[in-house]
Amino acid sequence: MFEHFGLKDLFVGLWKYKIIILIVTVITTILLSVVYIKKNTLGITSDTDSFYTENLYYVNQLNNETNEITIDGANKKSENVGQMIATVLVSNVFKEQIFLNMFDQYTDKEIADKFSLQVNRDAFDAEQFFDNIGYKVDNNVGVIKVMYTTNNEELSNFITEESNKYVEQLNKELFDKVEVNNLGNTIVDKSNGVFSQESTISKKILLVIVMFSFVLICIVIFFIILFNPTINRRSDFAEYGVDVLGEIHVKARKEN
Amino acid sequence: MGTSKYKVSKGQKSKYEIEQMICEVRELFDQKDTFCVGISTSTKLRDNKRFVFDCIAEHEKNNENGIYCIDIDEKEINKKDLEKMRNNHKYIIVNLPPISISSEAMEIARECDTLVLVEKYAHTKYSEFEKTLAIIKQENINLAGVISA
């Protein structure tokens, strides 16, 4: 079956399906981009989540030569302190700390009434809960953005307060190395119809998606032409002892 | 027919290719003492075959001793009709549907002196072409060659 297949035949086949490759690449790129953006879009994870919150912090690294600092009792190396703080903010430890503080301040009944949360202190999974409310931290150009959605405004306020407390604590611990400024906390009530959110896709990711789509369709085309080989040149007819009396190219057909 | 005997510019190439193809078809009649040539294809790309047939028909329509072109999609013919045409025309070309899918085309192809297949590079599948060749061999039809269009 594969005796008729060679590298030239592969290129002939790819050229033959060029329009399909182009269209499918574009469509796949659009679909994958939409999926990527949706997956990385925060705040709109559930129709029942009515409050979208953004907390912005500016990280000013006071000493550029400092590449080793202590956060949460552990020495960590990084050229980007903002990235490190963002990592802590999205960590399980930090999330659990939020709820430990909540349990310290409120009883189960108060938590249920105030935050609309039914919690079991003995088997509480902060990570799972944060997955449900759509929590994410971004770190770009020294600005850390903590974003999340909840269905309870009090809960949004509580998480914001805990984030701010953590940042204040960082300022005290790393006063000679890093200065973290709170640029503002915004809670948007989506139920009033004022919610809007930016979501973008970087050029690098887009390029990867385009390349992935292109390679994917090329692989599919490869198998199509591998299992359905075509006669692509004069010598292919010669294999059967058949003469080629004439060759008329596509351009000639159109001109006629 | 091998590579071009004459050098032609890019703009002239298209018409030249068609002229050369018609010359080759005419030579079939002259060299092999042929009266009737059938044009068929192994693929479902009938447009290409129609194009070749139309080129020949257009070329020969004003030629007093030209080739008489019959399209059996437009005009049904049988063995007797072909015999009658022998008396009135010197050369005949019959446009046939793919012989692998049409028994009627097969009947007429048997009556033709030789058969020419119109194929298209990158579209004619080996399986289809081999199937057509097997039928041609089985029916003992004389295959003159292929025109790639």
Q: Give the minimum alpha-carbon distance from A92 to chain B in angstroms, rounded to a whole number.
A: 58
Q: Which residues pair with B69 in a beta bridge?
A: B93
DSSP at B125: B
pLDDT tens, position by position, A16-55:
889 999 999 999 999 988 888 777 655 434 445 577 788 8
Number of A/B CB contacts below 8 angstroms equals 101
Q: Do A256 and B17 touch (CB under 8 A)?
A: no
A124 three-class SS: coil
pLDDT tens, position by position, A201-210:
778 888 899 9
CA distance A239 to B2: 16
> Which token pair is A1?
């079956």
How many CA atoms does the CB half-sphere of B119 hold within 13 Å? 28
- Between B9 and B141, the more confident residue is B141
Residue A38 main-chain phi, psi, to 5 deg: -65, -40
Output the DSSP codes for B49-66: HHHHHHHHHHHHTT-TT-
pLDDT confidence band for A79 (50 / 70 / 90): low
Q: What is the pLDDT of residue A26?
A: 93
Q: Are A38 and A140 in contact (CB under 8 A)?
A: no
Q: Do B126 and A230 touch (CB under 8 A)?
A: yes
Q: Which residues pair with A56 in a beta bridge?
A: A145, A184
pLDDT at B100 over 70: yes
Q: What is the pLDDT of residue A193?
A: 47
pLDDT tens, position by position, A89-135:
777 788 888 888 888 888 888 888 887 777 777 777 777 677 666 66
Q: Give the minimum alpha-carbon distance from A253 to chain B in angstroms, rounded to a whole number.
A: 8
> What ipTM was predicted for this assembly?
0.74
pLDDT confidence band for B3 (50 / 70 / 90): very low
- Which of B93, B84, B87 is closest to B28 using CA atoms? B93
pLDDT tens, position by position, A221-246:
988 888 888 888 888 888 888 888 87
For A10-128, strand residue ranges (E) read 51-61, 68-71, 74-77
CA distance B72 to B95: 6
Average pLDDT, chain A: 76
A247 φ/ψ sector (left φ>0, alpha ψ -120 to 50, else beta): beta
- Which of A13, A11, A38 is closest to A197 using CA atoms? A38
Say which of A4, A231, A256 has its CB closest to residue B18: A256
Q: What is the pLDDT of residue B4?
A: 38
Which residues does chain A have within 8 Å of residue B43's beta carbon, measured at their own beta carbons?
A: none
pLDDT at B107 over 80: yes
Tokens 């990084």 sit on residue: A78
- Tell me the torsion sign for CA atoms A169, A95, A44, A33: positive
Q: Give the minimum alpha-carbon distance from B66 to chain A in angstroms, rounded to a whole number.
A: 19
Q: What is the pLDDT of residue A64?
A: 60
Mutation choice for B interface testing from A221, A230, A234, A243 by most B CBs within 10 A: A230
pLDDT tens, position by position, A156-171:
888 888 888 888 887 7
Q: Do A231 and B25 touch (CB under 8 A)?
A: no
Q: Give the minimum alpha-carbon distance from A27 to chain B in angstroms, rounded to a whole number.
A: 25
pLDDT tens, position by position, B13-65:
567 777 777 777 777 777 767 788 888 888 777 777 888 888 888 877 777 67
pLDDT confidence band for A194 (50 / 70 / 90): very low
B19 touches chain A (CB under 8 A): no
pLDDT tens, position by position, A48-76:
557 778 888 887 777 665 555 555 555 55
Pairing of the two strands B91-95 and B36-40: parallel
